[in-house]
Amino acid sequence: MANVLYTAEATVTGGRAGGHGRTTDGELDVELRSPVQMGGEGGGTNPEQLFAVGYAACFESAIGAAGRREHAEVGDVSIVARVSLLPGEERTYKLAVVLDVSLPQVEDREQAVRIVAAAHQVCPYSNSVRGNVDVGLTANGHAVT
């Protein structure tokens, strides 16, 4: 891996149902629990929640870059990320993601859609999951295709 910009390191013990996760620098320290909706006890976070937060945070940065390219002031961006765990074929699992992006300072519908579509091309999370995870996007309530 040439030109590494940053590497995050974390250790997990016990898995998603009753585990613990901690980054090497100690900034993230979480109890892992299966959600009640999946028959778990709840009371902790789970990989889907962590993925949703990470993807939304990364995508927000990509929105900033895409907005600058459009010469648009994106302002106070808000992203609601929904990460769903779905059954796959032959007892496997897969993910699906929906990112609902709110750009309150971008009033032009077409420009908002262009910014979100461009962000989807730059975001490292989007690039990592492309072709493997269904990702739905909206910009100010309008579908991004």
Maximum Cα–Cα distance for the chain, whole Å?
Answer: 48
Q: Which H or E element spans position 119?
A: helix 109-122
Going across the sheet that includes 134-139, the strands are 78-87, 93-102, 134-139, 142-144
Report pLDDT for 2: 83
What's the whole-model pTM score?
A: 0.94
Q: Tokens in use for 97? A: 């993601």
Same domain, 82 and 110: yes
Same domain, 113 and 128: yes
Same domain, 13 and 54: no
Per-residue pLDDT tens over the stretch 31-56: 999 999 999 999 999 999 999 999 99
Mean pLDDT rounded to a whole number for the chain: 96
Of 57, 109, 108, residue with least CA distance to 81:
57
The pLDDT-based confidence of 87 (bands split at 50, 70, 90) is very high
Same domain, 37 and 72: no
Burial of 117 (0-12, 13-18, 19+ CB in 10 A): middle
Same domain, 61 and 131: yes
Bridge-partner residues for 134, per DSSP?
A: 96
